[in-house]
Chains A and B, each alone.
Chain A
Amino acid sequence: MHRTRFFDHVILLIGVFIMVAPVVVAFMTSTHEAADIHRNGLSLTWGGHFTETYEAVLTREGGFTGKVTGLNMMLNSMILGLGFAVGKIVLSMLAAYAIVYFRFPLATFFFWVIFTTLLLPLEVRILPSYEVMNALRLTNTYTGLIVPLLASATGTFYFRQFFKSVPDELLEAARIDGAGPFKFFIDVLVPLSRTMMAAIFIIMFVYGWNQYLWPTLMTTDEGFFTLVRGIKQILLVWVGSNIPDYNEAFALAILAMLPPVMIVVIFQRWFIKGLTESDK
Chain B
Amino acid sequence: MRGASGLEGQQTFAKRVQFSSPFLPYLFLAPQLAIIFVFFYWPSVQAIQSSFYLEDPFGFGATFVGMSNYTDVLKSTEYLGIAQFTAIFTALVAFFALSIGLLLAIKADGVIRGNAAYKTLLIWVYAIAPPVAGLIGMMFFNQHIGPLVEFARWFGWDIKVGLDYSDTAFAMIVVSVWKQIPYNFIFFLSGLQGIPVSVREAAALDCRSEFRRFWTVILPLLAPTAFFLLIINVTYALFDTFGVIDVMVKDKAANNPITLVYKVYMDGFRGSDLGGSSAQSVILMLVVLVLTVFQFRFIERRVHYN
Binding site for B on A (CB under 8 A): 4-5, 8-9, 11-12, 15-16, 18-20, 22-23, 25-26, 29, 37-38, 41-42, 90-92, 94-95, 97-104, 107-108, 110-111, 113-121, 123-132, 136, 147-148, 150-154, 156-158, 161, 164, 168, 171-172, 175, 181, 206, 209-213, 216-217, 228, 231-232, 235-236, 239, 246, 249-250, 253, 256-257, 260-261, 263-265, 268, 272, 275-276, 278-280
Q: Mark each residue of chain B from 27 to 42: 1 if its CB lies under 8 Å from any CB of chain A, else 0.
A: 0110111011011101
Measured in the bound complex, the distance between the Cα atoms of B13 and A114 in whole Å is 13
Q: Which residues of chain B have C-beta atoms less than 8 A from A172's C-beta?
A: 17
Measured in the bound complex, the distance between the Cα atoms of B251 and A216 in whole Å is 13
Which of A9, A110, A235, A256 is within 8 Å of B138, CB to CB?
A235
Q: Which of B86-112 contact A (CB under 8 A)?
A: 100, 103-104, 107-108, 110-111
Q: If A212-B131, A272-B123 touch, does A38 touch B144 (CB 8 Å cutoff)?
A: yes
- Interface 9-mer from B60-68, B182-190, B201-209, B213-221: B182-190
Contact of B43 with A132 in the complex, beta carbons under 8 Å: yes
B46 at the interface (CB under 8 A from A): yes
Which of A4, A150, A232, A249 is within 8 Å of B139, CB to CB?
A249
Contact of A19 with B122 in the complex, beta carbons under 8 Å: yes
Contact of A95 with B28 in the complex, beta carbons under 8 Å: yes
Contact of B35 with A147 in the complex, beta carbons under 8 Å: yes
Q: If A101-B15, A158-B3 touch, does A107 touch B25 (CB 8 Å cutoff)?
A: yes
Which of A16, A92, A94, A275 is within 8 Å of B121, CB to CB?
A16
Chain B minimum-CB-distance residue to A9? B111
List 25 contacting pairs A-B, 8 Å CB cutoff, sorted by A: A11-B104, A12-B111, A22-B140, A23-B125, A26-B136, A91-B32, A99-B25, A100-B14, A102-B24, A102-B25, A107-B14, A107-B25, A110-B33, A119-B4, A120-B44, A123-B264, A125-B40, A125-B47, A128-B50, A212-B243, A228-B132, A231-B131, A235-B247, A250-B136, A272-B190
Chain A minimum-CB-distance residue to B244? A212
B85 at the interface (CB under 8 A from A): no
Contact of A102 with B129 in the complex, beta carbons under 8 Å: no
B301 at the interface (CB under 8 A from A): no
Which of A29, A37, A278 is within 8 Å of B3, CB to CB?
A278
Q: Which residues of chain B have C-beta atoms less than 8 A from A98's C-beta?
A: 24-26, 28-29
Query: What secondary structure prevails in chain B residues at the interface with A?
Result: helix
Contact of B43 with A210 in the complex, beta carbons under 8 Å: no
Which of B144, B178, B225, B242 is within 8 Å of A22, CB to CB?
B178
Contact of B29 with A148 in the complex, beta carbons under 8 Å: no
Contact of B33 with A113 in the complex, beta carbons under 8 Å: yes
B294 at the interface (CB under 8 A from A): no
Contact of B36 with A213 in the complex, beta carbons under 8 Å: no
Apart from A23-B128, A181-B24, A261-B127: 20 A-B pairs, beta carbons within 8 A? A5-B111, A12-B104, A23-B136, A95-B32, A102-B21, A108-B10, A108-B13, A110-B29, A125-B281, A128-B46, A129-B43, A153-B36, A210-B127, A210-B129, A210-B130, A228-B131, A236-B250, A249-B135, A279-B2, A280-B6
B1 at the interface (CB under 8 A from A): yes
Q: Could you say which interface size class chain B belongs to?
A: 35 or more
Q: Mark each residue of chain B from 116 to 155: 1 if its CB lies under 8 Å from any CB of chain A, else 0.
A: 0011111111111111100111111000111100100000
Q: Which residues of chain A have C-beta atoms less than 8 A from B147's C-beta?
A: 25, 41-42
Chain B nearest CB: distance from A87 CB in Å?
Answer: 9
Q: Which residues of chain A have C-beta atoms less than 8 A from B178's C-beta?
A: 18-19, 22
Q: Which residues of chain B have C-beta atoms less than 8 A from A164's C-beta?
A: 12, 15
Contact of A212 with B129 in the complex, beta carbons under 8 Å: yes
Q: Which residues of chain B have C-beta atoms less than 8 A from A175's C-beta?
A: 17
Q: Which residues of chain B have C-beta atoms less than 8 A from A95's C-beta?
A: 28-29, 31-33
